[in-house]
Amino acid sequence: MSKASKPAEENARLDHGVHTDPAALDELTDAASSETTEVGADGAVAGYRASRTLRLGVELRRQLRRRRTQLVLGFVALLPFILVVAFEIGDANPNNRSGGFIDLATASAPNFVVLAMFVSGSFLLPMIVALYFGDTIASESSWSSLKYLLAIPVPRHRLLRQKAITSALLSALTLAVLPVVSLLVGVLWYGAGDAISPTGDSISFGQSVVAILLGTVYIMIQLAWVAGLGLLLSVSTEAPLGAVGGAVLVSILSQILDQITALGDLRDFLPTHFSFAWMDLIATDIDWTEMASGALSAALYATIFGLLAARRFATKDITS
């Protein structure tokens, strides 16, 4: 095998997301080193294109095949059924027309979806986003495969971007599974009735579906700050659990501080203060003020954390 074909073969193996054994990784090191001897007149390795390394489709398929991703998707899809069983075991009244969102959960399918999103919003949904983003770079470091990805070479900015986009797509997919499955389960068990809010407002099933769609989009945007923080922690540590746990702990701390009314208007600067602003959508007269503030706040936090992550990764010494 020629010097030029050997690196190309190894590049293709990593480009398709194959985890090699230690012996193969040693061979890859030699192949990556030999590339420097096969250069063209302009100093570039023959046949190398940065845009062809770590393709998005390859990375996405690789992450979808991971047991972690499959378990998270499976649990989110199972959650609505668990809630139905809980209500069936209990003494919930499907004809209830008053009370809070939990009391109204069995009044109709839209109300059931609102409950599923409500009970998941404090911990489960932030944890899912933190898992995908916090694990993205740190896991490669823990597997000792990050340095081999960079040795192909995959440019650092491209590696971080492709990983972040993949994590964003997985997060959006998982967050969308919850309301979709909840709506289907709710229609089967509680019927396609009107959505009823605790204030007494009622909107039709068609309007409630649109409201649920907008609410899901808002939650994705609002949790962007968790994504940015998770990415920053992921490039700052070689322990995936530390990155994921750190982002979740910050989310919990922010929620605790948000309960302290003595902080007054300072709570508006907490990233979780507007987490449940989407619930204003279940009303005949929608107030968009808090949702606009929540989206802007999340975008600012996500931008700051994202820029810090990019700067940190660009200057970090990669040893694993």
Range of lowest pLDDT (26-35, 36-45, 87-96): 26-35
Do 42 and 79 share a domain, yes or no? no
Do 22 and 157 share a domain, yes or no? no
Residue type, 90: G
Burial status of residue 102 (CB atoms within 10 A of its CB: 0-12, 13-18, 19 or more): middle
Do 30 and 75 share a domain, yes or no? no
Question: Domains in the chain: how many in total?
Answer: 2
Question: Computed over its alpha carbons, how large is the radius of gyration of the chain?
Answer: 23
What's the whole-number mean pLDDT along residues 266-283?
Answer: 94
pTM: 0.83
Do 43 and 152 share a domain, yes or no? no
Domain membership flag for residue 320: no
Do 44 and 62 share a domain, yes or no? no
What's the whole-number mean pLDDT along residues 233-251?
Answer: 95
Do 213 and 273 share a domain, yes or no? yes
Crossing angle of helices 156-190 and 124-134, in 10° steps, is: 150
The confidence band for 118, taking pLDDT boundaries of 50, 70 and 90, is: very high
Domain membership flag for residue 126: yes
- pLDDT at position 265: 93
Do 129 and 242 share a domain, yes or no? yes
The confidence band for 110, taking pLDDT boundaries of 50, 70 and 90, is: very high
Report yes or no: 291 and 277 within 8 Å, Cβ to Cβ. yes
CA 91 to chain centre: 35
Do 42 and 57 share a domain, yes or no? no
Domain with 16, as residue range(s), is 1-48
Do 17 and 71 share a domain, yes or no? no
Query: Strand 202-203 to strand 195-196: parallel, antiparallel, or no bridges (unpaired)?
Result: antiparallel
What's the whole-number mean pLDDT along residues 286-312?
Answer: 96
Do 218 and 293 share a domain, yes or no? yes
Do 255 and 290 share a domain, yes or no? yes
- Phi-psi group of 194: left, alpha or beta (phi > 0 → left; psi -120 to 50 → alpha; rest → beta): beta
